[in-house]
A and B are shown apart, each in its own frame.
Chain A
Amino acid sequence: DAGVIQSPRHEVTEMGQEVTLRCKPISGHNSLFWYRQTMMRGLELLIYFNNNVPIDDSGMPEDRFSAKMPNASFSTLKIQPSEPRDSAVYFCASSPLAGGYEQYFGPGTRLTVT
């Protein structure tokens, strides 16, 4: 079975540009998570969906960040406008369990904003 798929794997963009990260969870998993990882802040939960519905978005840094899950097999995380401090690795993870104590992570998207 394919694992969690993320695209792109690397993204380099200029400050002010819009960035869209994509995620395809494992088929049958009903929980989806977006994380951001940096050396300074570690692994931060940005938003959590259950059955395509956002349950907790308290980790979304500010209004520049938005996430959608239009169906069970696709989610996007958008940053508009992007800033250099958004540079990080963004992971998408899915879980067959609500709350997700067993999560399967995608390979991540390394975002660099110059």
Chain B
Amino acid sequence: GQSLEQPSEVTAVEGAIVQINCTYQTSGFYGLSWYQQHDGGAPTFLSYNALDGLEETGRFSSFLSRSDSYGYLLLQELQMKDSASYFCAVRDTGGFKTIFGAGTRLFVKA
């Protein structure tokens, strides 16, 4: 079967650093994407990792280890506006489709 696992909720304080983990089990693998979704909004693309290592985009970084079937999203200098749900997604080579995890709800406290 195919599955992605990520924590359901994470809470952190403003200004802190938070890491959201994602482990996956899929029939094929092309890369790991991350999306952000605010309540009532649509998912927004954040980052993509096809190769092992860390990709940095401003306050957000994403990491991938293909040997461990594991990745994470790192959010630095947390702001209240970062409170949202974060989804990891795997591009499956089998059908060239993207499979989304259940999402991690991040609560940022003052």
Contacts and interface: CB of A to CB of B under 8 A. Distances in A.
Judge: A and B partners, yes or no.
yes
Interface stretch (A17-25, A40-48, A61-69, A71-79): A40-48
Contacts of B103: 42-43
Interface residues of A, number: 22
A55 B30 contact: no
Contacts of A14: none
B45 A104 contact: yes
A42 B102 contact: yes
Interface string B67-110: 00000000000000000000101010001111111110000000
A100 B43 CA distance: 14
The 10 closest A-B CB pairs, nearest first, are A99-B96, A105-B42, A43-B100, A56-B95, A101-B91, A42-B102, A105-B43, A101-B33, A101-B48, A56-B97
B98 A100 contact: yes
Interface string B17-55: 000000000000011010100000111110010100000
Contact of A106 (B33, B42, B45, B100): B42
A101 to B, nearest CB: 5
A50 B96 contact: yes
Chain B CB count within 10 A is highest, among A42, A45, A48, A101, for A101
